[in-house]
Amino acid sequence: MIKKATIKIEWIGNFKVKKPGIGVSHAKVILLGEHAVVYGQPAIALPLPDLAMTVKIEPREAGQVILSQSYRGSLEAMAEVYEGIRQLIIRLLRYFDAADLPFTMTITSNIPQERGMGSSAATAIAIVRGLFDFFNKPLSKSELQRWASIEESITHGSPSGLDTATVANDQAIWFVKGEQPQKINVSLDATLIIADTGIQGQTGMAVAVVREHLFNEPKTTQHHIDKIGEIVKNTRIAISENNVLKLGQFMNKAQKHLEALGISHPKLDELISAARNAGALGAKLTGGGVGGTMIALTQNAEQTTNVLTALEAAGAHEVWTQTYSH
């Protein structure tokens, strides 16, 4: 007979908490639709469950301490790039009427930062889940998204909501700004390869580049945005039919429009060319662009090995694979 694990709930001062509180999330990758999604076009994002984030919250005698790979110190001393996280934690503690509760929050992650893979959104989702778990309170999906959007709004200014929607789900997401995200089934006989250029992505700068193009060359720029939207709609059909060849073609077409919008980068172009020359069915940048990461699609083990070898030879900083099989 299997014994159920018991949940340990204790009173810490005036607070009834669960020891420890745990919150998890994972990385994401945009398959198609980046930048066009800002202007009302759809996007498809995929979860990367192998790149995970875990937040553990435990009570302590005094102080509020954050322990992570990039920051180790007190909550009150967090600043600059961590302001979104600090604000989120402070507001959550106020919500639970526990502003002064001493705790240690340990953040463990293998998601690379500033690479368009949803690291900040994954942190926010895991923190919200962790604190709600710590206080043993139920958490609805809408509440989760609302709380996580606090961090994203401070960190990224005006996020579409795509990142938080995807890192909170284990299925692919069909996303249109201002609408409720839809889960879509992805059962592809293929492997997605993600390669890091080693150059920090510049999402804010890339968004500004597209905005500038739209202001100075409205007709041409809008054409590229609309074409990306068409590609995304056709991709949804291709995915539902497990049509890997068409998906690869759509990835290549989308990359041409993204290049025309001015958000690629010489290193991205180099890795994309290396992947295609090695047999990838499709390859494109993913996320903000101007550095960051690219993705490639392969159909069998031989193609995957060849593309991985080519990407490493072309100087990819790090490479991951993800499958979405039946």
Model pLDDT, residue 155? 63
pLDDT at 170: 79
- pLDDT tens for 93-105 read 999 999 999 999 9
Residue 156 has pLDDT above 90, yes or no: no
Q: Is the pLDDT of residue 297 over 90?
A: yes
Q: Rounded to whole angstroms, how far apart are CA atoms 229 and 13? A: 54
- CA dihedral (18, 20, 23, 27) in degrees, to 10, reads 180
Domain residue limits, the chain: 9-183, 185-323
- Report the CATH architecture of 185-323: 2-Layer Sandwich (3.30)
- pLDDT reported for residue 3: 46
Write the DSSP string, 130-160.
Answer: HHHHHTT----HHHHHHHHHHHHHHHHSS--
Q: Tokens in use for 99? A: 């502003």
- Residue 178: band (very low, low, confident or very high) from pLDDT cuts 50, 70, 90: confident
Distances (CA, A) of 148 to 26, 90, 173: 14, 13, 17
**Closest to 118 measured CA to CA, from 74, 160, 147:** 160
Whether 185-323 and 9-183 are alike in CATH topology: the answer is: no
What mean pLDDT, rounded, does the chain reach?
88
Torsion 270-275-277-281 (CA) sign: negative
Does 13 have pLDDT greater than 70? no
Token duo for residue 57: 């919250």
Of residues 308 and 122, more confidently modeled: 308
Question: Among candidates 256, 209, 229, 193, which has minimal Cα distance to 50?
Answer: 193
Residue range 179-200: average pLDDT? 88
Euclidean distance between CA atoms 203 and 26, whole angstroms: 20
> What per-residue confidence (pLDDT) applies to 7?
57
Residue 212 amino acid letter: E
User: Is it the case that residue 4 has pLDDT exceeding 70?
Assistant: no
pLDDT digits over 31-63, tens only?
Answer: 999 999 989 999 999 988 888 899 999 999 999
Beta bridge partners of 46: 29
pTM of the model: 0.81
The answer to whether 261 and 213 have CB atoms below 8 angstroms apart is yes
* pLDDT one-digit tens code per residue, 247-295: 999 999 999 999 999 999 999 999 999 999 999 999 999 988 888 899 9
pLDDT band at 218 (very low <50, low <70, confident <90, very high): very high
- DSSP H helix total and E strand total for the chain: 9, 13
**Residue 262 has what pLDDT?**
92
Q: What is the pLDDT of residue 1?
A: 44
| Mean local confidence (pLDDT), 225-231 | 97
Predicted local distance difference test score (pLDDT) of residue 230? 97
Question: Would you state the structure tokens that stand for residue 50, as one six-digit string?
Answer: 């192998």
| Cis peptide preceding 138, ω within 30 of 0 | no
CATH 3.30.230.10 is held by the domain 9-183: yes
Distance (Å, rounded) from C-alpha 231 to C-alpha 214?
A: 20
Higher pLDDT, 166 or 180: 180
Mean pLDDT, residues 138-158: 78
Indicate the pLDDT class of residue 176, thresholds 50, 70 and 90.
Answer: very high
Q: Which helix (H) or strand (E) holds 303?
A: helix 301-313
**Band (2; pLDDT cuts 50, 70, 90):** very low
